Amino acid sequence: MSVTAESTTDLNRTRFYIDGQWVAPRGTETQVALEAATERPLGVAALGTETDIDAAVRAARRAFDEGPWGRATAAERATVMRRFADALAARGGDTAVLVSRENGMPIALSNAFNGDAPAGLLRMYADLAETLPLEEVRPSPSGSTVVRRQPVGVVGAITPWNYPQVLAMMKIAPALAAGCTVVLKPSPETALDGYVLGDAAAEAGLPPGVLNIVVAGREAGAALVSHPLVDKIAFTGSTAAGRVIGAECGRLIRRCTLELGGKSAAIVLDDVDLDTFVAGLDNACFQNNGQTCTVQSRILAPRSRYDEVVEAVARYAGNVTVGDPLDPDVACGPLVSKAQLDRVLGYIDLGLRSDARLVAGGGRPAGLSRGWFVQPTVFADVDNRERIAQEEIFGPVVTVTPYDGDDEAVRLANDSEYGLGGSVWTSDEERGLAVARRVRTGTIGVNYYLQDLGAPFGGMKSSGIGRELGPEALGNYLEFQSVYASADQLDR
């Protein structure tokens, strides 16, 4: 399937999924979703107001306090979650195509993260829910203590546009497994695909109010964060927005999980196998057209092999196929929007005006006058203190900086306010692991970088608070209660 000028607007989503029904919005604001590769209308979506958010939260509160979900057994919840997974899997191929049209994600990546991963996460957390002990009896000085795990309550989930389906499910799946109810606020930049989750939830028979979906902008998102009936916020997005959300949750004494920005480093050691490094550049440094918070957009190269590394990265970037994200041979699609294109081009201009050396890309690709495309771009000789080496660009732009010795490489890698991803490239894995353990970051790979959905994910420093994914994520959605009882409970 390819993107054409005949792309239609039959994907309109002008209702919100609230309390198990598709309901009319309280306001009148809408947004035309434009196809990233053609700039043509893809569909129209309603944008929610604070009143819509309030209705969704109240539905979630009723479902938690009065409905069956919070009182259901883990096995009962798991059964519904697996039906939800089946419904999503049946739509997975179409969903992946829709997301690629919305945000420019190459289709192979979209198939994995928007088509397959959401159903996989639901199944994983359904399994975990069935094996998690909800009560444990411990001896105490006065008899016994029953330690209980309880769902935290109503969860407000706020998700970005770059990996919209999987990032939503990284919050929804553990929340449902724990017995929570959810209000999801997807990003307006990808306003259409979020409602696929509502279609699948309705088909799977999730009880009314367990999952509610309202696409909305910042003001409505702020209303979700501060709503008095919300117990926890799970947010993925920019560090700037995360600071505001974290401050509000602190004021309200409200739980929050924040997965924020990154400016990660790929440390190339002097014994690197360059073929291995170049083969990993797509996932590590250029994934999703650079629209990935974990990309290692700072490449640190040993001075003894610096020219080799620069030449290899420049050659790779110059050979990347840029074009229609639905073409399986395309490795770099367009950016999500005109605003994002302007942001990335602004950083490229900043690099061109610095002392850095442009060795690949640097502008719009020839022959692609429509769509928000930018060439994969590489700057060499970049001082790590430069803005293009310190600020998150969120496009296919990488910098290369020389270093002398492993200690300086680690120092440069850690010389960032962020700590989300990273990689080390070497022919000696033990040496690579030793270097990786010294980098202050939440995730890091040795000779590859590929996120493991079964392991905890999150950031250090300004890259966030808390962890998602893996069994550890269930703890984000559980409260502990200690019940002091007699010693008779120890024998039961």
| Residues 183/157, Cβ–Cβ less than 8 Å | yes
How many of the other CB atoms lie within 10 Å of CB of 408?
Answer: 14
**What distance lies between CA 410 and its chain's CA centroid?**
26
Q: Alpha-carbon distance 373 to 352, whole Å?
A: 19
Contact 30, 16 (CB under 8 A): no
Of the residues 259, 391, 392, 408, only one is catalytic, namely: 259
* CB 477, CB 154: distance < 8 Å: no
Q: How many CA atoms lie within 13 A of 169 on its CB side?
A: 31
Cβ neighbours of residue 442 closer than 8 Å, sequence gap 6 or more: 419, 420, 421, 456, 457, 458, 459, 460, 463, 464, 467
Cα Rg for the chain, rounded, in angstroms?
Answer: 23
User: Measured in whole angstroms, how far is the alpha carbon of residue 486 from the centre of its chain?
Assistant: 46
* Ramachandran bin of 209, using left for φ above 0, alpha for ψ from -120 to 50, beta for the remaining angles: left
Query: Is 259 an active-site residue?
Result: yes
The residues carrying an active-site annotation are: 259
